[in-house]
Chain A
Amino acid sequence: MGRLFRPIGRAFTSALLGLVHLAALALSPWRIGRLLRTVSLPRFHEHGLRTALTVLGIALGVAMLVSVVLVNRSILRSFADTLDDISGKADLEVTAAASFEEAALETVRAVPGVTHATPVVQETALMRLPQAPGERLLIIGVDFLGEDDEHFRRYDSTEMKAIKDDPIAFLNASTHVIVSRALADRFGLKLKDTLPLQTPTGVQSFQIWGFIEDEGVGRAFGGNVAVMYYQAMQVAFDKGTRIDRIDVAVDPAAGPDTIAARLRAALGPGYDAARPERRNTQVAQMLGGLNLALTMGSLVAILVGMFLIYNTMSISVVQRKRELGILRALGTTRRQILLLFTLEGGLLGCVGSALGVFLGLFLARGMLGVITASVNEIYLQVAATDVHVDPVLLLGSGVLGILGAVASAFIPAREATRVSAVETLRTGHAPKHVAPGLHRTDLLAVGLLLGAVLARSLPPVDGQPFGPYASTILILLAVALAMPRIIGLVHRALARPAERLFGVEARLANDNVPRDLRRATITSGALMVGVSLTVAFGCFLESFKVSTLTWVAQTVPADLFVTSGARFGGVKNIPMADTLRDDLAALPGVEEVDRIRLVNIVYRDLPIKLLSAGLEIFSKHSHMTFLQGDAETSVPAVQAGDVMVSENLARRFGLVVGDTLRLASPKGEKAYRLAGVILDYTSDQGTIIMDRATMIRDWDDARVDTYELYLTAGTNPEVVKREIEARWGEALNLYVLTARDFRGELEKVLDQTFAVMSALELVALIIAVLGVVNALLATVIDRIRELGVLRAIGMLRRQVRRMVMLEAGILGVSAVIGGLLAGLALAWVLTNDIFLAQSGWYIALLVPVLPMVQLTVAVIGVSTLAGWYPARAAARLVVSDALEYE
């Protein structure tokens, strides 16, 4: 293996050094550039591996930032692009809480200042083509035969022009569609081909009547788009005479805001008129928490990268004191030394950031699929297939990496300026680095902790908990400052047991750790940051999982869940017409069937969920946790037309039982009395729960997202599941999950959602481990002579190897202790402040003991293994050379 990796490692190191060379050459017209080339470059070469590891560390940090930000932007951009492509030149769009009667169109057209108005129906359907498994299609129903529609949208389609001239044949059936050229090309679809689609009433066969080129509407939703005549679509999708919105163009002289106010007044409560971009803002707000968490996670990766630069430059200053003395003696000014070392850090930062930007572009492509899948599962349907490359963003991330590197190099560089020429040249030895006054650091650590406590209580800005996020950074810094104390404690605690367990090598390793306390602090500090992130997210995820799964077990205790088009009802599934209930109830072993409908609505400008269930059945089986109200009074009230809300919605808007909630329903604004606040994890934005009868009455929506089946005692759910699948599975594209499947799938979705976060933790840990390798390589160089003596007086090569690896392991022990402390504090802030502010959910913090033990063992193990390469280098020293080394 070694033979395979060595040339790869050398090639990699040489390539990186080549890049460092190029960057230095660019600076050669200046005096400092020449100094950099003649003084610094040979050092980079001399310590090629360390230079490469440092550059790699920065590159990984920058890559994570670039990829996360690019993916976040790409998802929002994809949504905005689709909106642009579909809404085109609309100045305003008229919407209601859900679909509304197209009669409103006449009211809109009659409003003074409205120049054009056209209806739009929109649905997402599941394609049932064998060559397109799981592919979704955005179908837009428009009045493309009317004059107004031309004002808003551009269709580059020969067939559509022909249809416009002679529409009779096209309008003859409700299943004629025009699809995008991209879709047709991708799945080999031809004119007059059949396109089977999953609709609320089951699978329907549509026929392709034309193609739209890859422009305007044709590129919406990643190209997975079809256009129908809107009235045909109303029939095909069982929408009666309802439409989803009206696109409006206004007289520029009047201005959109004035017309929007007129439209609202004309249409009355329940309708809204706003600029289309508002939907972008709502989506950005909906995804804000996820985006912020990912961005913070990637910034931590950069922070760990900064530790690495700081460490490398500190090591460099200590090892080059003699050289610095010579430079000072030859007349190099302190300012030049400061500039030289800062530039060295900046140079490493430049190369690392440049690599990171490219690496980030690749990572973003991989990450886009994962995050889009999570967004599709939890929030809304987007078709982000391409990474939107924003040069400003790439440049910004690169600059951030460089600035981080320069800032990290500045402190060691300032230290380099303090080297006395006379002293360094006279002694001939670099003086050992002693940790600066510990009391000052201790006080600072305590101060930062107090700051963290204060920052926790800062109110959110635009709904985002910036204070608690600042608190997490302060906690990390405080624990980083406490690392010398932790290292000291670990050193004392391990003194005897380590020697007893691993012999003299362990004793010497343990004694070596605090010898260069600052290096040990930085190295284990960086690792501590990685560990703390893992601990914090581990605890948070466990707490969230346990809370969610407990809630599911108590509140949603059905034996079988039946959905169409996706495993869960709510976002990705295709709502079903209520045709199955009686058939399901008639199956042997089925006691009761509840019907759940989950609708996206906007409440006080926040996109939330409106959930309806048969309260009689639901309350009989479910053990709802009431935070306000109780089952005895609230459930009958909800059955009578009141509503309940989830804990997070109540917290967001300060709702209490007895309040009135005004919701814009398709039948106009409706007022509902709040009868109870319950624990509910349906949506992180908030959920309103009403009885199914109320939803049918006020929303005119009898569709079903999930049938929840309760079986009689002793019935095997698997048998009923197979029966349902056999009877209706294929036709309705049903997913039938047992309670166990449901929990398993839910866990999978949660894990998938947090997978990117786990990847960020992993990268932070990898960067920190690179730091361990880096620091130990420096330690070996610093102690060459001592290693020579140990070998001379009889230390075997394997004993040397063990000693160096144990030193790495002991650094890992300190990092784990610091990481556990910081991680638990971070987990506390994450669950009680950040998550609470972003989701409105309070979850009890749980510490998963076994994974924490596994993490401890893994980190110490990996840290020990990180010492392998330096240990090997130490063991291979030529003893006689080492003894003469100075």
Chain B
Amino acid sequence: MHRGMENPVQPGRPRGTVPAPLRYVSRRPVIDLERVSKTYGDGATRVEALVAVDLHIPAGQFVSIMGPSGSGKSTLLNLVSALDVPSDGRITIDGQDIGALDDDALTLFRRRKIGLIFQFFNLLPTLNATDNVLLPVMLERAVTPDDRARALAVLGDVGLARRAHHRVHELSGGEMQRVAIARALILEPRLILADEPTGNLDSATGRSILELLKKTARDHGTTVVMVTHDRTAAEAGDRLVLLRDGRLEGDQAVGPAAAGGA
């Protein structure tokens, strides 16, 4: 594995051709997976969820990960979001080898460096929209008036300025997901990981959420990694990584990036 190589994960790509992600060659990878494997169980029940995956994602890139059920998408996302540790290989996120961190350090790393967005929004029903957004701050320290102003600003960015003080049950699915995005953004993480963020929304709302994620990546230079089943949603990003049976099956530029790179 060579740090300087552009995009080493190019299964099926003929040598000499230049893949679209090479646009980011000058940027240091935010996510760096080196021959990462993950197995569950032993003996007859042993399952290889990921097999020697190499993946490098530079800063500011919006990467979609697709694959059929059981392909290892969720496992990959869990590893990248420091929720799980690999059985083999090395994962470096924003320059930090996460395998070297204990549980507390991993948790703090997630809190400060990673914003997570889930399919079912997973907001706390007892808090209003602003407080849900402020939750990562509350876990970090006492909330200041500046934090509150920032939460309102982020809610404004996601189009929810007027719903800031509404309770979760008073929001629509799309609005809940926007709150979840605002929560992911509040500590200005280096990386946003989204697990099927549009899976529980109608297509129009889904499109607006994808736009928001793209805008976030563009405006804040945040890296976005999104797991999805939906091809249309996947093509909203800059790059599409395909997984099958725990192995990388494809890695290509999509959307405007593909057009620019072609």
Contacts and interface: CB of A to CB of B under 8 A. Distances in A.
Interface stretch (B11-19, B53-61, B106-114, B218-226): B106-114
Interface in A474-531: 503-504, 507-508, 511-512, 515
Nearest to B81: A792
B232 interface: no
Contacts of A503: 138, 142
Interface string B124-142: 1111000000011011101
A770 B140 CA distance: 33
Contacts of B139: 504, 790, 793-796, 799
B116 interface: yes
B107 A794 contact: yes
A789 interface: yes
B126 A797 contact: no
A883 B118 contact: yes
B104 interface: yes
B78 interface: yes
A786 interface: yes
B183 A793 contact: yes
Q: Is the interface of B mostly helix, strand, loop or mixed?
A: helix
Interface string A785-805: 110011111111111000000
Contacts of A508: 124, 126
A515 B127 CA distance: 12
A504 B81 contact: no
Given A503-B138, A507-B138, A515 B104 contact: no
A873 interface: no
B128 to A, nearest CB: 11
Nearest to A515: B126
A107 interface: no
A785 B122 contact: yes
A127 B111 CA distance: 78
A517 to B, nearest CB: 13
B83 interface: yes
A796 B107 contact: yes
A457 interface: no
Contacts of B125: 515
A793 B114 CA distance: 8
B103 interface: yes
A793 B126 contact: no
A789 B118 contact: yes
A880 B139 CA distance: 19
B188 interface: no
B84 interface: yes
Contacts of A880: 74, 78, 83-84
A380 interface: no
A795 B136 CA distance: 8
B131 to A, nearest CB: 9
A879 interface: yes
B122 A789 contact: yes
Interface string B83-116: 1100000000000000000011001101110001
A503 B141 CA distance: 8
B135 A793 contact: yes
Interface in A277-331: none
B17 to A, nearest CB: 36
Interface string B246-259: 00000000000000
A860 to B, nearest CB: 22
A337 to B, nearest CB: 29
Contact of B104 (A511, A786, A797): A797
Given A508-B126, A879-B83, A880-B78, A796 B108 contact: yes
A879 B114 CA distance: 15
- Of A792, A794, A883, chain B has the most CB atoms within 10 Å of the CB of A794
Contacts of A883: 83, 118, 122
B6 to A, nearest CB: 31
Contacts of B107: 791, 794-797
Contacts of B136: 793-794
A794 B110 contact: yes
Nearest to A879: B83
A799 B81 CA distance: 20
B78 A794 contact: no
B122 A786 contact: yes
A430 to B, nearest CB: 14
Interface in A748-797: 785-786, 789-797
A497 to B, nearest CB: 14
Nearest to A884: B74
A884 B74 CA distance: 10
Contact of B127 (A511, A789, A798, A884): A511
Interface in A860-886: 879-880, 883-884
Nearest to A882: B83
Contacts of B104: 796-798
Nearest to B140: A794
B189 to A, nearest CB: 10
Nearest to A512: B126
Contacts of B116: 792-793
Contacts of A515: 125-126
Contacts of A791: 107
B252 to A, nearest CB: 28
- Of B81, B126, B127, chain A has the most CB atoms within 10 Å of the CB of B126
Contacts of B122: 785-786, 789, 883
Interface string A247-274: 0000000000000000000000000000
A795 B104 CA distance: 9
B51 to A, nearest CB: 19
Interface string B165-204: 0000000000000000001000000000000000000000
Nearest to B120: A785
A799 B139 CA distance: 8
A794 B114 CA distance: 9
A681 B170 CA distance: 66
A802 to B, nearest CB: 12
Contacts of A504: 135, 138-139
A884 B77 CA distance: 13
Contacts of B108: 794, 796
Contacts of B110: 792-794
A67 B202 CA distance: 65
A804 to B, nearest CB: 15
Interface in A8-50: none
Contacts of B103: 797
A501 to B, nearest CB: 11
Interface in A36-72: none
Contacts of A789: 118, 122, 124
B227 to A, nearest CB: 12
Contacts of B81: 792
Nearest to A513: B126
A884 B126 CA distance: 21
Contacts of A790: 124, 135, 139
Interface string A148-175: 0000000000000000000000000000
Contacts of A786: 122, 124
A791 B82 CA distance: 11
- Of B84, B124, B140, B142, chain A has the most CB atoms within 10 Å of the CB of B124
Contacts of A511: 124, 126-127
Contacts of B118: 789, 883
Contacts of B112: 794
29 contacts: A503-B142, A504-B135, A508-B124, A508-B126, A511-B126, A786-B122, A786-B124, A789-B122, A789-B124, A790-B124, A791-B107, A792-B81, A792-B83, A792-B116, A793-B110, A793-B139, A793-B183, A794-B110, A794-B111, A794-B136, A795-B111, A796-B107, A796-B108, A796-B139, A797-B103, A798-B104, A799-B139, A880-B84, A884-B74
Given A515-B126, A796-B108, 13 more contacts: A508-B126, A511-B124, A789-B122, A789-B124, A792-B81, A793-B111, A793-B136, A793-B139, A795-B107, A795-B111, A795-B139, A880-B78, A884-B74
Among all A-B residue pairs, the 5 with the closest Cβ atoms: A794-B111, A511-B126, A504-B138, A789-B122, A880-B78
